[in-house]
Structure 1
Amino acid sequence: MTTTGDDRTTAMTGPWWWERWRGVALDAGLAALSAAECGAEGVAFARDAGLPVPVGVGFGLLAGAALLIRRRWPIAVVLISIAITPAQMGVLLTVVGLYTLAASELPRRIIGALAGMSMAGTLVVALVRANQDMAEGSPSIGSEFIPFFAVTAAIGVTAPPVLLGLYVGARRRLVEGMRERADSLERELQLLAERAEERAEWARNEERTRIAREMHDVVAHRVSLMVVHAAALQAVARKDPEKAVKNAALVGDMGRQALTELREMLGVLRTGDGTKAKPEKPAEPPLAAVAFAAAAAASRAVDEDGPCLAELDELVGQSRATGMAVDLSVEGEARDCSAEVEQTAYRVVQEALTNVHKHAAGAKTHVRLAYRSAEIAMQVENEPPPEADASSDARLPSGGNGLVGMRERVMGLGGVFVSGPTDGGGFRVSAVLPAAV
């Protein structure tokens, strides 16, 4: 199927090979005009050929009506126009047929060959017609101008429609190419938008997971110690009032520390960047920007305000205050590491001690920290808990997220995490982290 520049993106609503009914009306009108022209010229053709006039008129009408199939078979229309050129009819058929042929997507060599044949036929007919007029004595130009007249007539009938058709066909292909590029860009933009949405969803999930880990570490450890102290307080309240007062003070300190850490974390979540929230409601940014900005702000707040390995002694001291026997040993020369590494190492030890409070209250625990050349190793190992312990009545709940959170933290920094029971009946948590991320 060939076209003459009609919009191909329009829905196919016309019959047969027409895209639209407007094309049907245009081709029917051109075919009617061409048929009328050829029918009128068929009268002279019938007289010159010695045929009945109705035969010549019918032949002209049939040949001129070939423009109806110009969009479907442009080669056939051009061949018909070439065939009736000796009969000196079909000027409109030739012009429209050549234009349609040139505007089609046929190879250029076929277009050039048929255009050359049409030009040659028109040139021959123009020469014969001019010589006949001179022979009949009609006033005309001199014989030396006959070739010039014939060439001009042949070029005038053939060249303009061919050039116009080539231009329209090239322009149509250019427009189609630009439309395809626009569609391709639209699809790419849609794909990028979907990917951005996926990345935003991933960022939100990662942020939820990180916040859940932080909340678990802050709440679980502090509250576990508070519950242990409360159980000890209950056990010694009547026997040793002085020790009860001390345990009550420790519970208050633990609660205040937990509230402080929770307040800092909630402040970061509310403001998004650690600064004071403004009363005005800002313009709502894109969804992906919100997720990434929240993740970046929370990460900055964690790096700046999070715990470090220098506070490990205090952490171990808090567990000792509950009556747990905890040994801390440090190997290698202590040095500053990146904030993420120190905070992760601190949280691993903190969560491991929390698990000891929950599942092995009263068990002796060994905390080991080793500074190596390019990494930091830590290990928390507890012995089997005693048969009976005063703090065993604390009944601390467990959600099963502690080990999962530790593993996620360590693996997120490219470290190694191993946990499991020991041969002696205790439990061991080991982690190795790179010194710099």
Structure 2
Amino acid sequence: MKQRLPSWLFVLFLTLLATATDEFIIAGVLKTIAADLDVSLSAAGQLVTVFAVVYALGAPTLAVVCERFPKRSVMIVGLLCFVVANVVAALAPGYWILMGARVFAGLAAAIVTSAAFTTTAMGAPEGMQGRYLGVVTSGMTAALFTGVPLGSWLGGAFGWRATFWLIAGVGAIAALGLLVTAPNIPGSNSAPLKERLSPLRNAAVLRLVMVTFLAASGGLMFYTYLGAYTTEVAHGSYHMLSVMLFIVGVAGLAGALLAGRAIDARGPRTGLKLVIGGHVIGLALAALLVFSGIGNPIVLGVVIAFWAVWAWGLNPPIQGSIMGAAGPQVGMTALALNISGLYLGTGVAGAIGGAIVGFADIKWVPVAATVMMTLSFFLIPKAAPQESGAAGSAGEPQDMTESQPAGT
């Protein structure tokens, strides 16, 4: 009999939809914020940068501190802080108050995301870790074509402050849902700081974080300049971008779910090789297309869809691999370290892609991205013997039935 997914998994989907939307949504209302608060557009843009930087640096730091606490408590408290930060942002009378709210929101989102992925990995039944991680990861992917467009429309219709009220409301609903449904994942045993920082000395974990860094640098470099790439391939047709972004969202959502099933069947390391290998092929096809001169929109859409499936399939296998390499006692810290690798890769992607566009041509962006993704592929460690079959659940089995009272 097919096992039904628990309700807490979909609450975590909603949780990551909220935190990811908060990360991306402000890009759609930057001009409005700049005009309302009487700052330059570049200054308003720093509201995006500071969230990402704080998120990247705060995730591993806060994870070390919060590793020993029950994950449900960490997520609920973190979400409440996230809600407060967005309420403050919605009410901010000036730029610096808004900036402070973005810092606080970034820190809260970082710890919530780390705890959510740890809960998912440790709360999954044997043989279903990948599927569970895929569902939760798809919340972040869904933000690209649901939360972000909705928030941007809301900001245009009712003002930029309405977008932060929306995120605060979703965050509050998610916190209530976790209070009622979240499984009882205990914190790790008390341990000295040296032991809690062990992922920083774990060669397998660090190698996997580097895999994430290079994969993010390559994949997000292409995504960052997708608009310019689409215009180049479609011979100046700007209206194609919205269609391509929709394709990316739908294909990416499917990719996250399919990647989860793949690692349940083959193990996280094998699944990781499959996903990154497919990503290499997708970027290579994008490079061939832009140099071929073929401007057919159907061909362009197929190539973008193929690439997006692999691009957004990364999180389930990389997180499963890292949990397996680090172990449950420091799993949250290891996953948070991986988040830092992801966000640092995002920053590098924009910088390198910008340099390529400035000094060469947009055609060379998918070429450079393919090179970085290939390096990522060759860095993937070999699968451990226990990972050769089904992935199973990370760490020791937990007794986490959905019928447990919320306070246990």
Structure whose residues are more often strand by fraction: 1
TM-score normalised by the chain length of structure 2: 0.22
Is the radius of gyration larger for structure 1 or structure 2?
1
TM-score normalised by the chain length of structure 1: 0.21
Q: Bigger relative contact order, structure 1 or 2, given CA contacts below 8 A and separation 6+?
A: 2
Structure whose residues are more often helix by fraction: 2
